[in-house]
Amino acid sequence: MSRVLILGGTGDARRLASLLIGGHDVVSSLAGRVRSPLLPPGEVRIGGFGGVDGLAAYLPGFDAVIDATHPFAARMTAHAVEACARVGVPLAVLRRPGWDEEPGDRWVRVPSVADAAEALSPGQRVFLTTGVRGLDAFAGGDQWFLIRCVDPPSVPLPPRSSVLLARGPFAYADELALLREHSIDVVVTKDSGGRATYPKLEAARTLGLPVVMITRPVLPPSASTVGTPEAAARWLESQAG
C-alpha cells in the first residue's frame, strides 16, 4: 500500500481521494482559504507548507504526489514540481481540460484579472465569478458587479457591487434566471473547466452575452499531467509497477 499526498481543494481532488481510499494510504492537503471546505475521505491536513522548503521537508515517507489543486493555483503547482524533484518523489498534475467555445459564444480571452477589468466597458452590469483574490482590480471602474463567491470577501470591493454567497454545482435554469434578474451585460470568469460552473456560460450563450474569459497559467514544462481523477489513479498504479 503506497502513501500518497493529494494537493487538493477541488472536486477532482475529492473524487481522486475516493478512488484511492482502500488501496492506498491517502493524505489530502487543503490550503485553508475556504472557511468550510468540502472534505475528502481519508486523512486531511489544512494549511500551507511554508514554500518549497516546507513542502520538501514534508514529503519524505510519501511514495507519490498528485497535484489536484485549482488550475489557477500556479504557485502551489510550481512549488510541488520543485519540491518533488528535489526529494525524488514522483509527481503528477491533475488538470481537467479547459472550456472550449461553441457556436453562439462571444468570448474574449484575456491573460489576467487586471486585463479582464480593462476589457469592460463603462456602465456595464457584470457577473463576476473570479473568486475573492484580485477583486481590487475592478475597484476603479464605474460598472456594477454581482460578485459570486463561496466566502464573504475580506478585501475592498468595487463601490457599486453586490455579493452573492454560493457554492457550485449550479444549474442552467438557475443561472439563466440569475442573469436575467440582475440584467447582466457581461460575464467575467476564469477558465476553470469542468461541469460544476459551466452552466453560467450556457446561460450567457442563450442570452447572447459576452464572456471575458481569463486564460489559465502555463504549467511548468517538466510537469507530468493527467486530465481526470481516473487517469491520475492509473498513473499511480503505473508508478507501483
Burial class (CB in 10 A: 0-12, 13-18, 19+), 166: exposed
Residue 133's pLDDT is 82
Phi-psi label, residue 96: left if phi above 0, alpha if psi -120 to 50, beta otherwise: beta
For the chain, what percent of residues have pLDDT higher than 90? 81
User: Minimum mean pLDDT among 31-40, 113-122, 140-149, 169-178: which range?
Assistant: 31-40
- Please report which confidence band the pLDDT of residue 220 belongs to, taking 50, 70 and 90 as the band edges: confident
* Per-residue cell: 193: 473547466
In the predicted structure, residue 146 carries a pLDDT above the cut 70 = yes
Residue 169's pLDDT is 94
In the predicted structure, residue 132 carries a pLDDT above the cut 90 = no
Q: How far apart are CA 115 and CA 84, in angstroms?
A: 33
Tell me, yes or no, if the two domains 3-96+218-240 and 107-214 fold the same way: yes
Residue 156's pLDDT is 84
In the predicted structure, residue 32 carries a pLDDT above the cut 80 = no
Q: How far apart are CA 141 and CA 144, in angstroms?
A: 9
- The stretch 86-96 carries a mean pLDDT of 96
Angle formed at CA 231 by CA 98 and CA 1, multiple of 5 degrees: 140
pLDDT digits (tens, 9 = 90+) for 224-235: 899 999 999 999
pLDDT digits (tens, 9 = 90+) for 147-203: 999 889 888 888 899 999 999 899 999 999 999 999 999 999 999 999 999 999 999
- The stretch 5-13 carries a mean pLDDT of 93
- The CATH code of domain 107-214 reads 3.40.50.720
C-alpha 100, offset from chain centre: 16
Residue ranges of the domains in the chain?
3-96+218-240, 107-214
* Per-residue cell: 43: 486523512
- The CATH code of domain 3-96+218-240 reads 3.40.50.720
Ordered strands of the 186-190 beta sheet: 107-110, 211-214, 186-190, 125-129, 144-149, 161-165
Residue 240's pLDDT is 72
User: 203 vs 34, 52, 164, 207, CA distance in Å?
Assistant: 27, 41, 18, 6
Residue 241's pLDDT is 59
* Per-residue cell: 185: 451585460
